[in-house]
Amino acid sequence: MQNLPPLNSLKAFEATARLQSFTKAAEELNVTRAAVSQQVKSLEAYLDATLFERNGAQLNLTQAAHEYLPVVSHVFQSLSAATQHLFSRQQQAQLTLHVAHSFCSQWLMPRLADFHRQHPKISFKVSTTANAMPSNSDIADVEIINGYGEWQSQKAIQLTRENWIVVASPGFLNLNPVRDLADLTRLPKLATGGYQETWQCWLEQQGYQGTSIKLTGEFEHSLLAIEAAVNQLGVLLVRDLLVEDHLQQGTLVKVGEWSMPSRGAHYMIIRDEEKPHVKAFVDWIMQSL
């Protein structure tokens, strides 16, 4: 086709103009800075126009470049979308996930259908774990675990910032109204075992100075503790993210306005993010949280 600049020159221009940096454009295109600069110069010669004004370390777009950039970007986006739609492999890509038990059941499962609607060609293989350390093998494309992020051998992205709150079923609170901490301490208390954040330290942070706290029920997994609270066994100390849906649906209610920041968080370990199905999941979960 006539009157079309070379594709590589257009790619170099689009990346440089969007990032306003030859160096960043080179990193994105996986070429040298000199190669990007040469491609831009070739495009300027082809168009007989100046696209960038160099002011020391600063790179500024000319008026012509400002007008040309959205056109070039739109063409690349349209070409990419058409290629994906028309020529993507017909077989499903399988996404393997290794996820903390409670996060999987209480947060991910209620929302996974939304991801599937957006990406119907991606199938799943989901396993769960109670481990607070990432695995050292390629067990999954994505791991989501609850911990403290102190893993030198793994690159982990913190997904959440959570608070410990107290919840109970509406029916339980109707029979056992809570007006203050004294009322709360007299009620049957539920917890998940294995956390640094205990009922004792949570109450002390709220100003409680009474005797040591005894539990009515301690559970191996948060999902069991949540079910116990839903079924009116007592008041539960839990991370707010895990009961988000229960609070919205009204099966549990927050007791008072007390809370305590969690020392831990949910972290995501990603392997081979360049795979399209992995990147699609990572983008989706970051937008959903």
Q: Write down the mean pLDDT value for the chain.
A: 88
Q: Domain containing 73 — which CATH number?
A: 1.10.10.10
Backbone angles phi, psi at 130, to 5 degrees: -105, 5
Beta carbons of 248 and 256 less than 8 angstroms apart? no
Is 120 in the same domain as 176? Answer: no
Q: Mark whether 106 and 239 lie in a shared domain.
A: no
Residue that terminates a domain, selected from 87, 105, 129: 87
* Cα 13–chain centre separation: 32
* Same domain flag for 169 and 252: yes
Containing 218, the helix (H) or strand (E) segment is: strand 217-219
Structural domain count, the chain: 3
Find all residues with CB under 8 Å of 167, minimum gap 6, and list them.
229, 235, 236, 238, 243, 246, 247, 252, 253, 254, 255
User: Confidence class of residue 85 from pLDDT cuts 50, 70 and 90?
Assistant: low
280 in the same domain as 154: yes
- Separation CA 73–CA 71 (nearest Å): 6
For residues 39 and 9, is the Cβ–Cβ distance under 8 A?
A: yes
Q: Are residues 150 and 196 in the same domain?
A: no
* C-beta of residue 189 within 8 angstroms of C-beta of residue 199: yes
What DSSP character marks residue 105? I
In terms of domains, do 39 and 126 share one?
no
Supply the pLDDT for residue 90: 46
pLDDT value at residue 46: 92
Contacts of 142 (CB under 8 A, 6+ apart): 95, 96, 97, 98, 268, 269, 270, 271, 278, 281, 282
Cα atoms in the 13 Å half-sphere on the side-chain side of 86: 6
Residues whose CB falls within 8 Å of the CB of residue 20, separated by 6 or more in sequence, listed in order = 59, 60, 61
Cβ atoms < 10 Å from Cβ of 1 = 3
pLDDT at 1 over 80: no
pLDDT of 77 above 70 = yes
- Do 209 and 232 belong to one domain? yes
**What confidence score (pLDDT) does residue 152 get?**
57
Pick 31 or 90 by higher pLDDT: 31
Please indicate, yes or no, if residue 280 is contained in any of the structural domains. Answer: yes
Query: Residues of the chain with pLDDT > 70: what percent?
Result: 93
pLDDT at 220 over 70: yes
Asked if residue 194 and residue 51 are part of one domain, the reply reads no
Average pLDDT over residues 1-6: 76
Residue 157: which CATH number?
3.40.190.10
**Contact of 83 with 42, CB cutoff 8 Å:** no
- Its pTM stands at 0.61
Higher per-residue pLDDT: 137 or 74? 74
Is there a domain that residue 2 lies in? no
pLDDT, tens only, 176-215: 999 999 899 999 999 988 777 789 889 988 988 877 788 8
* Alpha-helical runs (H) found in the chain: 7-19, 22-29, 33-47, 63-87, 101-103, 112-118, 170-175, 181-185, 199-205, 222-230, 244-249, 276-288
User: Which residues face 237 on adjacent strands?
Assistant: 166
Q: CATH number of the domain that 189 lies in?
A: 3.40.190.290
Same domain for 279 and 204: no
Q: How many other CB atoms are there within 10 angstroms of residue 174's CB atom?
A: 10
Residue for token pair 């979960």: 285
What is the pLDDT, as a whole number, of residue 136?
63
Pairing of strands 163-168, 260-261: antiparallel
In this predicted model, what pLDDT tens digit does every residue of 231-282 receive, in sequence order?
Answer: 999 999 999 999 999 999 999 999 999 999 988 889 998 887 788 899 999 9
pLDDT digits (tens, 9 = 90+) for 149-176: 776 556 788 888 899 999 999 999 999 9
Domain that residue 224 falls in: 163-261
